[in-house]
Amino acid sequence: MAGIGTGRRVALLVITSAALTLGCAMAGCGAPNRAASRPETLVSKHSAGSRPLATAGLTAAGQPRYFADIVRITGSAAGAGPVQIRYSATGALTPRQPGVDALAITAYEGGSRLLLARQAGDGCASRLYRATVSAAGRLGRLTRVGPVVRGIVTSVAADSRGSLIGYFAGPCSKPGSGYLAVLTVRSGQIRRWTGVAVYGSGGTLATGTAISMSATGRLLAFTGAATGADGKLLGQRVWTLSATAPPGPLAERSRVVLKRSQSGPEISAVALSPDGKTFYLCTVGTKGTVSAHAAVSQTAVITVRRTSDGTSTGIVAKLTATGVTFQGFGCPMTVTPNGRYLLAPYQLRYGNNTTVPPLVRAAVIRASSHARRALSFRLPGSAGMSVADGITVAW
């Protein structure tokens, strides 16, 4: 599963050939945050044991040894950013980084494989790739999956085996609109649902930043906003869609399972449980207004809800960030393919100057008991006018 903060606002209407290169010579690119490199023990009011799993790439508790992220950089072409591989226990970077950029990313097969979307050349097209993550945390050779994607991919999801792939794609010109598609890898068949407003394009439903797929691939869930005839946002939504629904307008084929006002806490991310019967929802509420002289506090609330009607069955975590000086980070939450753990980054903290790499604070949460431990890691430092302003995570 993959997660992305809805604060990401990358313009896709003009795609340029500019390439963004971030070397490890930048401050903090390859150096682990030593304060965050000490694994912490999960603490809970509940007892929660886990049976050892034989699946490659998993710890005895069923937690992937590594997670991947895409660093979102201001001004990057088509919203692409460098892919990083990190230790799940500490958040530190693995010794050998991939050296590739990507538009979107997700994990499958117990976290041992990654699916990436990359821009195809300099045009308005993308390609899907898959690669293994070795026992040493190295990303293997990228292998193409499926045909060239029309448009710029903004988010991806996959079933537990990577045999079904869902993705949002946006247009490169304002008159056009985006779409949601599901690719059946073996046959190459693609099913599309149209009319998606992606980053300012036309469409009857504004979304494209967060998508999740059940382990079987039968159900998709995504967040966004309903729009009126004039393009005005009417309120935040969580939708579900059957992967076998007939092609056509997404607004007509999908089902609203949760409605929120546009002015309420931001619906930042959704993640389906493996069986698709429940989903995790992360919303972000803010107290105060960021200015040149003031910081705010934000609280990310993660709830578990029934997919049938969106009803909450309990609060999983409340994650409070104080001294927030940047509000666009959101809560790019993801859940492991086995559904046992959630990874929820909830704060991006900048240093006093651009030479100090920004710090991400996150929580690793056990789904069964809600036990959690803190995790933090640093993103690359500034590269001129370009700075890291968000991440997409895959676990």
pLDDT digits (tens, 9 = 90+) for 7-58: 443 344 443 333 333 333 333 333 333 333 333 334 333 333 333 333 457 7
Categorize the per-residue pLDDT at 147 as very low, low, confident or very high, splitting at 50, 70 and 90.
very high
The amino acid sitting at 273 is: S
Is it the case that residue 369 has pLDDT exceeding 90?
A: yes
Residue 18 lies in a domain: no
Residue 133 lies in a domain: yes
Residue 159's pLDDT is what? Answer: 97
| Number of domains present in the structure of the chain | 1
Of 57-61, 156-160, 334-338, the poorest mean pLDDT is in 57-61
Residue 293's pLDDT is what? Answer: 62
Residue 14's pLDDT is what? Answer: 40
CA distances from 394 to 5, 252, 302, 382 (A): 13, 30, 18, 24
pLDDT digits (tens, 9 = 90+) for 236-282: 999 999 999 999 999 999 999 999 998 889 999 999 999 999 999 99
Of 124-128, 270-274, 354-358, 387-391, the poorest mean pLDDT is in 354-358
What is the residue range of 39's domain? 2-7+28-394
Categorize the per-residue pLDDT at 346 as very low, low, confident or very high, splitting at 50, 70 and 90.
very high
Residue 21 lies in a domain: no
Residue 387's pLDDT is what? Answer: 82
Residue 378's pLDDT is what? Answer: 94
Q: Supply the mean pLDDT for the chain.
A: 84
Q: What is the CA radius of gyration of the chain?
A: 19
Residue 17's pLDDT is what? Answer: 33
Give Cα 340 distance to the centre of its chain: 17
pLDDT digits (tens, 9 = 90+) for 90-107: 999 999 999 999 999 999
Q: Count Cα neighbours of 125 within 13 Å in the Cβ-side half-sphere.
A: 10
**Mean per-residue pLDDT, 350-362:** 84
Question: Where are any strands of DSSP class E within 250-311?
Answer: 255-260, 266-272, 278-287, 296-306
Residue 20 lies in a domain: no
**309 bridge partner residues:** none
**241 bridge partner residues:** 220
Residue 386 lies in a domain: yes
Residue 356's pLDDT is what? Answer: 82
| Residues contacting 304, CB < 8 A, separation 6+ | 278, 279, 280, 281, 312, 313, 314, 316, 367
Domain CATH code at residue 330: 2.120.10.30
Residue 285 lies in a domain: yes
Residue 384's pLDDT is what? Answer: 65
pLDDT digits (tens, 9 = 90+) for 205-237: 999 878 999 999 999 999 999 888 777 888 999
Residue 133's pLDDT is what? Answer: 96
Is it the case that residue 1 has pLDDT exceeding 70?
A: no
Residue 50's pLDDT is what? Answer: 34
Residue 357's pLDDT is what? Answer: 87
Give, for 149, the enclosing helix (H) or strand (E). Answer: strand 143-150
Categorize the per-residue pLDDT at 78 as very low, low, confident or very high, splitting at 50, 70 and 90.
confident
Categorize the per-residue pLDDT at 77 as very low, low, confident or very high, splitting at 50, 70 and 90.
low
CA distances from 252 to 171, 194, 233 (A): 20, 10, 17
Residue 92 lies in a domain: yes
Rounded to 10 degrees, the C-alpha dihedral 202/282/244/217 comes to 130
Residue 326 lies in a domain: yes
Closest to 169 in 3D by CA, of 282, 69, 78: 78
pLDDT digits (tens, 9 = 90+) for 286-345: 887 766 666 789 999 999 999 999 999 999 999 999 888 777 889 999 999 889 999 999
Residue 4's pLDDT is what? Answer: 43
